[in-house]
Structure 1
Amino acid sequence: MNQIQIPKENPMRARRLFTILAVLLSFAVVAAACGDSGGGDDNAEGQTTAPAAEDGGEVTTTVADGGASGDTFLVGKFADACDSFKDQVTVPDDFNIGLVTDIGKINDGTFNEGVYKGFAAAAECFGLENRFIETASEADYVTNLNSILDDNPEVVVTVGFMLASDTLEQAQAHPDVKYVGVDQFQPEYPDNYVGVLAADDQGGCMMGGFAGTLTESNVVGVVAGVEAVPPVVRFANAFKHCAELANPDVDVRIVYHESFTDVTGGAATAEQMLGEGADVIFGAGGPTGSSGIKTAAAKGAWVIGVDTDEYYTTFEGGAIEGADKLATSAIKDVGLGVFNQIAMALTGEFQSGIFTLTAANGGMDYAPAHDADLPADAVKALEDFRAGLADGSISTGVDPITGQPLDG
């Protein structure tokens, strides 16, 4: 079975040459689920907007030959992935794909955007007709999942933990459609449903070990999203465990919020943590967390992003005050996982079950420091924790399903 080896992308350590090989990426049952969400900019140029779905999100048709302003999506890892599969694939004339986002937009700088890039790269690589629906509210989930079927897609990608139950029902009701659920764990998957999951606890552990070394005050904080969402708990508790591994004297403050879009609350929590002496803040909760790190960075604290490289999103490529205080971000390479599953559907090798992103296969990784001038010991700790998680010598200290601390 051909699958894509997810590359490592760590510019903070000695750079490697990255190639994506068509090799077996093992499936492991790591329960992960998340619904990072948030607002974003208007739709990028090079896309045409169709009428909105009734009571649903915005319906947009992507262009197969590029992204914003005609730029291609087939760069870097996606270009290599396309090369590894394209000669093996004969695309049926009527093969098309669909995407339903979690609350937010495809250019909102969150999980939605990472998934969309992989979706759009696959559409461009294989010349696929495609359509996406941007979800406006939780009440729109079922409407949007029904609307995406209007074009009779062969593959439907859905984003986030909050869509898991509805996606399962759709997969059971439409056995001829293949469903790719990002961050969606199910005890059992129908034959037409795969969950692209991430070992969120490994990302949290990497960031915790880094923060525990980086802090000078020995107080660090996590501006977290919704506690009922398991990936958030895994991120936060693994962060705490590994911060304490790196620095037994560290005091880790974790504050959860009722929404992923509580930007006011996220900022207020960060200010409170700074007032309590925290000098490193990890944002793990969509725009809620992002507002926290934006506030903390502007006040001179070190901050850590999540899911995507927040230098390019929250800090607008260095244009926002405090960009030089963004130390790194915990990266989930969900886009390449989505590309992989669409390619597997085309080759006839699609398998139900779980496709897991880990430190070992490069699916959980860290972003470069960009403008931040980091101490050498913290940089070393970050890579040491990544490598230890990859080879199994470091444990995250939490249950990989619930995120609750392990005994002992």
Structure 2
Amino acid sequence: MDRLSDLLSGEFTKKSLRGIYISTIIVVALLAVIILLTGLKSMSVQASATNVGLIINGDMTENGWNWQSIQGLLLAESEFGVIGTVYTSTDPSEIEPDVQQCALDGNDLCIGVSFMTTEAISNSAPVFTNTKFTNIDGWYENYPPNLRAVGFSSQDVGYLAGTLAALMSQSDTIGAVCGMEIPPVIAFTEGYSNGAHCANPAVTTIISYTDTFVDPELGAQLARDMIAQGTDVVFGVGGLTGDGAILTATQSGVWAIGVDTDQYFTLFMSGTVPGSNYLLTSAMKRLDNVVFLTISDVVSGMFTPGIVWYGLEEDAMGLAPFHETDASIPLDVRTKLERVRRAIIGGIVDPSDEPCLVIYQQYLPLTNR
């Protein structure tokens, strides 16, 4: 009654106010803990119920494209508790049955690793509407609600490769031996050319498209032709065709840059193949991180249809370590590469354009801070 009288008469003491204030904080804190635990439990239940299928066609070379994608799945299993299944084949005719089986097995998400799965996923997505599908490195004109494509901002890492090539060239002539003239390859090579020209306006870039990814001898011949014209850095952007160019360049004592994976491992077999001491780096696509990010979106309920682009900022692309050529890369070259990388991530440099001097005036002061 005394407390009630105090309240009614307006004579509530500071001590009483302090007691109510502390009690309120405790209640709010307890509610926050309950909400957090409920959310974590909900996410855990959702993750444990998520089944993911990975459709792979081709070999399983360690550190290669397919091997990387499996590392992403394994990480998601560890982080989210998802249940993963890998569907492998070596015959392209087996891809579509594998995609269908992935859906029939009740997987919540089926991921096709490479453009080779593009058609099979396009055919299956409208049929298995309760399954989410993702195609890595492919694209579509139309996207039903359960279909996503993952694209790489290849121009970003191509720009870095071109910057390195121009800074390492002694002849001011660099080259690129490419496969088919399709968007992902074009993005690599245009970024390469722009990055080189912005690093050294005097550089000449020779670009050769071959319309094939499976002709290493053609790639080798084009590399020899470029070397005869004074090229002293060769970028191979064309599957086996590009591999032929890289091997010929490096074994001729000319710098080379690989693509897609860290080719010190996948082409030079950790330095056991001659020429590894002339491989500067590789313009990598990080399949492990892209697979993990895609699964994360499904687990968190953030999956959306359409195309999603990943690049340097998401660590989905980047230059591989220098390996045996590490001692040959001057400190000032490393510094400039890091400045360019940060400028691309910050949106100051657009690798698709060729702004050169304007870019340098903007991003060099910024990245020196």
Identity among equivalent pairs (%): 29
Q: 2:158 aligned with 1:213, yes or no?
A: no
Aligned counterpart for 1:365 among listed residues 293, 308, 318: 318
Letter in 2 for 1:265: L
1:207 touches 1:382 (CA, 8 Å); kept in 2? no
The residue correspondences of 1:192-211 to structure 2 (distance < 5 A) are: 192-211=146-165
1:299-357 CA distance string (max 9 Å, x none): 11111111222122112122222212111111222321211222332343322233321
Q: Corresponding residue for 2:279?
A: 326
TM-superposed deviation, 1:93 = 7.5
Distance in 1 of aligned mates of 2:345 and 2:128: 37
Aligned counterpart for 2:115 among listed residues 153, 161, 165: 161
1:106 touches 1:113 (CA, 8 Å); kept in 2? yes
Distance in 2 of aligned mates of 1:154 and 1:110: 26
Q: Corresponding residue for 1:382?
A: 337
TM-superposed deviation, 1:205 = 1.0
Letter in 1 for 2:187: R
Gaps of 5+ in 2: 1-39, 355-369
- 1:89 counterpart SS class: helix
Q: TM-score scaled to structure 1, two decimals?
A: 0.69
2:281 touches 2:320 (CA, 8 Å); kept in 1? yes
Q: 2:307 aligned with 1:307, yes or no?
A: no
Q: 2:194 aligned with 1:245, yes or no?
A: no
1:114 touches 1:334 (CA, 8 Å); kept in 2? yes
1:196 touches 1:334 (CA, 8 Å); kept in 2? no
1:213 touches 1:381 (CA, 8 Å); kept in 2? no
2:180 touches 2:213 (CA, 8 Å); kept in 1? yes
Of the structure 1 ranges 163-172 and 301-310, higher mean CA displacement relative to structure 2 is found in 163-172
TM-superposed deviation, 1:156 = 0.8
Letter in 2 for 1:118: G
Q: TM-score scaled to structure 2, two decimals?
A: 0.76
TM-superposed deviation, 1:267 = 2.1
TM-superposed deviation, 1:170 = 1.5
Report the structure number with the largest CA radius of gyration.
Answer: 2
Q: Corresponding residue for 2:288?
A: 335
Q: Corresponding residue for 2:13?
A: none
Task: Provide the alpha-carbon RMSD of the alignment.
Answer: 2.6
Distance in 1 of aligned mates of 2:84 and 2:259: 31
Q: Corresponding residue for 2:21?
A: none
1:211-254 CA distance string (max 9 Å, x none): 11111111111111111x21001111221122111112211111
Q: Corresponding residue for 1:61?
A: none
Relative to 1, partners in 2 of residues 1:224 and 1:116: Cα closer, same or farther, differing over 3 Å? farther
TM-superposed deviation, 1:155 = 1.4
Distance in 2 of aligned mates of 1:92 and 1:203: 33
**Structure ranking higher in helix proportion:** 2
Q: Corresponding residue for 1:18?
A: none
Q: 2:355 aligned with 1:397, yes or no?
A: no
Distance in 2 of aligned mates of 1:149 and 1:120: 20
1:302 touches 1:327 (CA, 8 Å); kept in 2? yes
Relative to 1, partners in 2 of residues 1:337 and 1:270: Cα closer, same or farther, differing over 3 Å? same
Q: 2:239 aligned with 1:286, yes or no?
A: yes
Whose relative contact order is higher, 1 or 2, with alpha carbons under 8 Å and at least 6 apart?
1
Q: Corresponding residue for 2:217?
A: 264
